[in-house]
Amino acid sequence: MSRLLLDGWQVVIGIETHAQIKSRLKLFSKAPTALLNHPVNTRYNAFDASFPGTLPQLNRKCINLALRAALALNCSVQTRSSFDRKHYFYSDQPVGYQITQHYAPFALNGRITLPKFDLPVRIKQIQLEQDTAKSTFNPRTKTSFIDLNRVGTGLLEIVTEPDIRSPEEAAEYVRTLQALLRAVGVSDGNMEAGSLRCDVNVSINRPGEPPGTRCEIKNLNSVKFMVAAIKHEIERQKTILNSSEQVPQETRGFDQDRWETFKLRSKEDAPDYRYMPDPNLGILIIDQTRVEQIKSNLPPLPDETRERLLNQYRGLTANNVDILMNLDANREINYDGDKGGSKLDGVGAVAYFEELCTPDRDPKTVANWITQNLLGQLSSLDRPFSSHHIPTSQMGELIDLVTSGQITRPSGKLLLKHMLTNDIPATISMRELARELDVLLAPSEASASTISSEDDPVYHACLRAIEALPSEITAIRAGNANVMNKVIGWVMRETKGKADVKKVREIINNSIHSS
Ligand SMILES: Nc1ncnc2c1ncn2[C@@H]1O[C@H](COP(=O)(O)OP(=O)(O)OP(=O)(O)O)[C@@H](O)[C@H]1O
Ligand SMILES: [Mg+2]
Ligand SMILES: [Mg+2]
């Protein structure tokens, strides 16, 4: 795939991602971190509110999680790193500076591969820093409201090298990073809830020429907005360069109503952050033993899971695996406020699939039941995937009933729909339910190869079809096999969907070719 734009320009993109660390406590204080549903100003302490005399105390759990992220991103962890003050005066930062790692970040030179494009993106560095408070401005009363719940929450700023070459690659980078951070339990990575935010740097140039001047679009909180912002920025910069002018280096915002980027400030009015080492914090020393220990306890990364699933389950396609893994990467997080954490509902789609894949079941059939039937019906009901909708015991039994020919596929789908739209207890057997809904085939019907018999209702329906559709039957006799579907459809309506397609085809073929 060409990575050039149609008119020969090339876009160069580098992304800075802020990911909130999923820790119970803040980075430098013992105050609990907050979720969106916590009442304002209930999750902070004297240090977070910058009372004089309070001192930062580094939270070990945040460092362990940060190390997990660094290792998952193949970074080299620095034995010595340090913290600096980045000064700016804004109401969301009560102390007047943010603690960050400007001069010596704890992790450098990593890499993440985007599976869809088989593209490595280099990670320049990861730095630890504090999140800000949240300010809301009421223009009518000209009043700012400050909520300190978020202030001091640990953040990882993950910075890429400018290796990304299209809005699609940028979107894939964010999704891959999000899935990785979630898989290692470092961050909820939830863009809507603000636990993952991106600044995207965009420039354009002609290949072979020096890189163009970058503009940085700040604080994008959805992949959709990021893609739109990059596309707009490409066009804006093209217009400037095509009229032989220079792109000024700027920090820009994205207007969600106009779908355009707009100027926040130019390089000349960039604030002077007056970076200085934080005198209250010493050198952060991370020894190799700790790194090795965390490395050996890393849960499987998405790449490894993808490869394992493809090797372990015969017949499973890459597309099946992507669907299952994307479901897990995008699982809805239920905020469970008072326990101070967020929790996932049930097990993920991959675990659900693996639980269903007992040795006697065909993995491809199981995957299709999940990705086509279950997900199809859930999406028409506008409900997200959850392993709780239909427990694996019932889903497994349903698949087995269809595979063994005890119910037809359409009946299986009907049962699935019935399960999803009614409150069916997890203890009910699917066979029982099939009997109640009158879709269980009699033993003689269940075997498609046994063609019988005087008292077989499907057999009689087929005979009636032959009588009712004489011209279709003539067409089949003349070799027009497609017409068979119409006859089968007729039998299906007659038997209210209870007949087995394979069997109907066999009965009709037998009857018309023997008469
Ligand atoms: N020519 C370019 N075009 C597009 N992106 C670029 C270009 N040069 C550098 N970048 C990207 O810009 C980003 C710079 O981020 P970095 O955190 O290093 O500095 P910053 O944006 O100046 O600082 P701050 O963290 O205060 O925003 C990186 O992701 C880098 O890959
Ligand atoms: Mg940065
Ligand atoms: Mg930046």
pLDDT tens by residue, 122-150: 999 999 999 999 999 899 999 999 999 99
What integer is the mean pLDDT of 488-497? 88
Report the chain's mean pLDDT, rounded to a whole number: 91
Contact between 179 and 302 under an 8 Å Cβ cutoff? The reply is yes
Looking at residue 343, what is its pLDDT? 55
DSSP 478: T
The alpha carbon of residue 195 and the mean position of all alpha carbons in its chain are separated, in whole angstroms, by 14
Enter the tokens of residue 146: 């400050």
Q: Which pLDDT score is estimated for 339? A: 43
Cβ atoms within 10 A of the Cβ of 319, count? Answer: 10
41 CA distance to ligand 2 middle (Å)? 28
Q: If pLDDT is split at 50, 70 and 90, which confidence band does 457 have?
A: confident
Q: Which residue has the tokens 């993952």?
A: 196
Higher pLDDT, 135 or 454: 135
Q: How many CA atoms lie within 13 A of 137 on its CB side?
A: 5
Between the CA of 103 and the centroid of ligand 1 the distance, in Å, is: 15
The pLDDT of residue 366 is above 70: yes
Residue 451 has pLDDT above 80, yes or no: no
Report pLDDT for 308.
96
Distance between CA atoms of residues 102 and 87, nearest Å: 12
CB 316 within 8 A of CB 363: yes
Instruction: Fill in the DSSP letter of residue 210.
Output: P
pLDDT above 70: residue 235: yes
**Which stretch, 155-169, 331-345, 347-361, has highest mean pLDDT?**
155-169
CA 378 to chain centroid, in Å, comes to 17
Atom of ligand 1 nearest to the CA of 218: 27
Nearest Cα neighbor of 404 from 353, 438, 447, 355 is 447
- Does the ipTM exceed 0.95? yes
The residues, any chain, with a CB within 8 Å of residue 89's CB and separated by 6 or more, are: 96
Cα distances (Å, whole numbers) of residue 143 to 90, 135, 136, 138, 502:
14, 10, 8, 5, 72
**Residue 440's closest CA among 491, 470, 400, 469?**
400
Phi, psi of 274 (to 5 degrees): 45, 60
| Sequence letter at residue 83 | F
Q: What is the pLDDT of residue 512?
A: 79
Nearest ligand by distance to the CA of 86: 1
Using the 8-state DSSP alphabet, how is residue 80 labeled? Answer: E
Q: What is the pLDDT of residue 341?
A: 47
pLDDT greater than 90 at residue 480: no
pTM to 2 decimals? 0.80
Which of 11, 16, 163 has the most ligand 1 atoms within 8 A of CB, as the residue to mutate? 16
DSSP 420-468: HHTT--TTS-HHHHHHHTT-PPPHHHH-TT----TT-HHHHHHHHHHHH
Strand partners, 25: 32
Residues with CB under 5 A from ligand 3 (ion): 16, 199, 216
- Measured in Å, residue 261 CA sits from the centre of ligand 3 at 16
Q: Is the pLDDT of residue 449 over 60?
A: no
Write out residues with Cβ below 6 Å of ligand 1: 12-16, 159-162, 201-203, 211-212, 214, 216
**Cβ atoms within 10 Å, residue 464:** 13
Which of 389, 393, 376, 509 has the alpha carbon at shortest distance from 449? Answer: 509
Q: Distance from the CA of 48 to the center of ligand 1, in angstroms?
A: 29
Sign of CA dihedral 287, 290, 293, 298: negative
3-state helix, strand, coil in the chain (%, to 5): 40, 20, 40
Which of 100-114, 199-213, 245-259, 479-493 has the least mean pLDDT? 479-493
Rounded CA gap, 227 and 167, in Å?
5
Output the CA torsion sign for 263, 268, 273, 277.
positive
